[in-house]
Amino acid sequence: MKLLLYVSLVIVAIIVISFTSFARADQCKEYVPIAKCVGEGDQCSQDVPCQGLLYCDNEGNSIHNGTCVKYAELDEDCSKVQCNPIYTCLADTCVIANYAQRNESCQHDYECMGDMTCVESVCSLIGSCKQNIECPFGTSCDNNGLCTDNIKAGELLPKKGDQYCAIGTKATSQGYCVSLYSLAVDQDCDDDTFCDDQLVCSGGKCSALPKATPTSVNCLSSPCTSYEECVCQGGDASATNATCYSKGLFGSALEQQKTTYLEFLNCITIYKCVIESNTDSPIYNSCAEKNCVPQYCTFLNSSQITQVYNPLPESCHSQSPICLAEANSSSSIQVNYISLILILSIFILFTFF
């Protein structure tokens, strides 16, 4: 009898230990530290990414390792490689496409947004609209194929559901259009983008961010807040210790992100640039790219979340393709400007002396 009791206790202990180990593995986030980003021609994978404007060519199979390959640039052959993300591969050639909004100049149909056609060098809508980007700024395509005015902040969306909130606003679950980041403490919200300043949406109300969990707390035994994640020590799922890390920005960084985002959307409104939604990246050579990329890139930079527990090596630091194109363009203009000054200086020197 005693032997049977002893065996039963041992079995129970094994089950408890096994369950605890399993729970630990599930409760914390594991990761593989990134040692470096590799260059052109090097082997790459999900854990060994490529540098800068390179991509991991694994022949369409993300499970297998691949090789770092350069993107094809403007007017280059894209039959076997991908185009730089700011371009489109059309007839095996990288082209600038889908950037010209209604009534803007064009040479080819593919330059016009959506399904518009280039008629007498102007992007034109033939017949009914099918996409919002085929409509003028401040309007969207309804179910009847007509461009109708967007709904302003404070107004109720029609029940027919084919109109949209204006740029810089967002629909609530009750159907009202509300300005982004405009709601104060204790006001009803659906997500963080409704709440002002350093507030977040918690339990359906705009609230202050929960106090951060001290790094000394082992989150395998004490849970993190809903705005944190429990990360395994060293990324090892079998670790007995784990730490809470913020999932996003907080404090002044969160406020800076919201401010720069609104500056980008304000620029879009000033220049009446057509974009599909608040979250769209500017299309290369479009109204938004020509006028508002500095604001967009500032917003992107302010949105970067540094992974304290698994920081990217210096070799992995890179810009968004649209921001990199803007930086290269600015550098080129600066170089040309300096060259012009030098030429004028030499001309003046030889003329007057």
Q: What is the pLDDT along the chain (353 residues), one digit of tens a residue?
A: 444 444 344 444 443 334 333 334 348 999 888 778 999 999 998 888 899 889 999 876 655 689 999 999 999 999 999 999 999 999 999 999 999 999 999 999 999 999 999 999 999 999 999 999 999 999 999 999 999 999 999 999 987 777 899 999 999 999 999 999 999 999 999 999 999 978 889 899 999 988 889 999 999 999 998 889 999 999 998 999 999 998 888 778 888 999 999 999 999 999 999 998 877 889 999 999 999 999 999 999 998 877 788 887 877 877 788 998 877 665 444 434 444 455 555 545 455 55
Q: If we measure between CA atoms, which residue out of 220, 213, 217 comes closest to residue 238?
A: 220
Q: What is the pLDDT of residue 96?
A: 98
**147, 139 contact by CB (below 8 A):** yes
What's the rounded Cα separation, in Å, for the pair 307 and 305?
6
pLDDT score of 60: 62
Q: Which of 116, 134, 132 is nearest to 124 (CA)?
A: 116
The answer to pTM > 0.85 is no
Say what the pLDDT of residue 229 is: 93
Do 80 and 90 touch, CB atoms closer than 8 A?
Answer: no
pLDDT at position 8: 46
The Cα-based distances of 83 to 45, 72, 184, 270, 324 in angstroms read: 20, 5, 44, 31, 15
Cα–Cα distance between 262 and 168 in angstroms, integer? Answer: 7
What pLDDT, on the 0 to 100 scale, is given for residue 333? 40
Spatial distance between the Cα atoms of 171 and 194, rounded to a whole number of angstroms: 10
Angle at 54 between CA 82 and CA 310, to 5 degrees: 130
Here the tokens at position 47 are 């854990």
- DSSP one-letter code for 309: S
| In the chain, domain spans | 101-143
pLDDT at 351: 56
Query: What is the residue whose two structure tokens read 């030499």?
Result: 346
User: Tell me, what DSSP letter sits at residue 95?
Assistant: E
pLDDT for 63: 57
The CA–CA distances, whole Å, from 296 to 52, 53, 271, 281, 301 equal 19, 19, 14, 8, 9
